Amino acid sequence: MYYEIRTYRLKNGGTPEYLRVVGEIGIAIQKKHLGHLIGYFSSEIGPINEIVHIWGYATLDDRQTRRAQLAADSEWQAFLPKIRDLIVTAESKIMSPASFSPLGGKDPI
């Protein structure tokens, strides 16, 4: 299993609006294509105005296919302008769990 950790830094004060529109519209579209949502978080301490969401994929090819399907979805394309101007920076990491992680995994060697 591979985990994509997506981190967005939002404009100052943008967190409530971002969470509102994602909760009302965006998350259903994402779940339809991306599948396994591990968690969706907003910062309380540390960097402010930060959103982190984590998605699980069986393989990297699975991720690539699912992300392409999401990008091609007309509902997603119509939704993006609702959050685009709220996002200042975006980062994506792909992680695999250690064999002893509660989420499971295997040693890469």
Q: How confident is the model at residue 105 (pLDDT cuts 50, 70, 90)?
A: low
Specify the pTM: 0.87
Q: How confident is the model at residue 40 (pLDDT cuts 50, 70, 90)?
A: very high
Average pLDDT value for the chain: 92
Helix 27-34 with 60-72: angle, nearest 10 deg: 140
Q: Is residue 64 part of a domain?
A: yes
- Residue 30 · residue 105 · CB < 8 Å: no
Q: Report the alpha-carbon distance of residue 86 to residue 99 in Å, rounded.
A: 37
pLDDT at residue number 2: 93
- Domain limits for position 67: 2-95
pLDDT at residue number 26: 96
Pairing of strands 50-57, 2-10: antiparallel
DSSP letter, residue 41: E
Q: Is residue 48 part of a domain?
A: yes
Q: Is residue 19 part of a domain?
A: yes
From residue 77, how far is each of 34, 56, 68, 81 by CA, in Å?
A: 15, 22, 12, 8
Q: How confident is the model at residue 108 (pLDDT cuts 50, 70, 90)?
A: very low
Whole-number percent of the chain with pLDDT over 70 = 95
| CATH code assigned at 50 | 3.30.70.100
- Residue 6 · residue 55 · CB < 8 Å: yes
Q: How confident is the model at residue 102 (pLDDT cuts 50, 70, 90)?
A: confident
Domain count, the chain: 1
